[in-house]
Amino acid sequence: MIKAGIIGATGYAGAELCRLLAAHPQAKIAGLSSRSFEGKALSEVYPAFLGKIDQICQNKEDVIAASDVVFACLPHGHSEELALKTVYSGKKFIDLGADFRLADSGEYKEWYGKGFEHFELHLEAAYGLPELFREELRGKKIIANPGCYPTSVALALFPALKSGLAEAESIIIDSKSGVTGAGRELSDTTHFPNCNEAFSPYKIAAHRHTPEIEQTLSRAAGKRLKVTFVPHLLPINRGILSTCYVRLKLGTAPEKLRSLYEDFYRDEPFVRVMPEGQTANLKNVRTTNLCDISLHADRRTGTLIAVAAIDNMVKGAAGQAVQNMNLLFGLPETTGLELIPAAF
């Protein structure tokens, strides 16, 4: 059994990770840590876990000592020191925060306000989007779990850009997220009277996931590119829907693109390319590690419209982290994640 420790277990991503690991056939929760609820049982914080996950939240050092793999579910800027302790203890480290997602220290400082403090750790890290970079993850000590928006966008656009059939300079991304994407801490934006029956963009052309999106799509295109990225807040608990617009190379037939996507994701158990005429919908991926992609062609303007739907707490966070853990420990990636969405 893999002994898994979770630091930041009482945040939304941490709690979702606990839910998934508690049902994992080859892993067990070895320790939980929470700055706000140390000494309390997880089921006191989340009564849904009563009788299922009653473990007491400990300090971080005890969690690291008890674990084979440590998941960090913390805001940016808090994971490097934990990764240092974990890796030097001979354990694996999966970071659900942003500290290891960007390859360039200067870019990280520009968007997050600080540079890398332990450059040597970043040599041990890999960007954990298995469908695109699976071989790069094997044998790594640190996995940077991708952001939720970047996961949806990368899966939606990577095949078109890698094939060279799309114009890399023309990308516009319109994304919507449920309120859990903002985390558990209270804010005026996510206060019920302000977000209920409301819908608006936020951090327009200034969201911190922008450089992560550009980094992955640049790898697909084989050159550095920039995108226009506008996120929106949906008045729902969970889910991300990204509608991505990219101009196609002259003469590219939409049928060729559909065949390309179906071939690209044919052996990926968590990516479903929707049949012609169907549209990706958040309700069809809720509480699962699935990503649904629907492809639409605007023949009049020569534009591909790729729509991706994921659950931001699962494929956008905890589920992808478990998928990465499975890969690191030689298990089938679907282990503990073969969740079927509810039909209604």
Question: Dihedral of CA 199/12/144/151: which sign?
Answer: negative
Catalytic sites, residue numbers? 148
Helix spans in 206-309 (H)? 210-221, 254-264
User: Between the CA of residue 150 and those of 64, 102, 335, 339, what are the distances in Å?
Assistant: 28, 12, 24, 22
**Cα–Cα distances in Å, from 290 out to 84, 147, 218, 271, 315?**
32, 15, 24, 6, 6
Nearest alpha-carbon partner for 92 in 117, 67, 109: 67
CB-side neighbour CA atoms (13 Å) of 68: 12
Cα–Cα distances in angstroms (integers) from residue 211 to residues 9, 103, 110, 185, 217, in the given order: 27, 10, 10, 24, 10
E strand segments, the chain: 2-7, 27-33, 57-58, 69-72, 92-95, 125-127, 142-144, 172-177, 200-201, 228-233, 240-247, 271-273, 291-298, 303-310
In the DSSP assignment, the letter for residue 72 is E
- Residue partners of 262: CB distance under 8 A and separation at least 6: 273
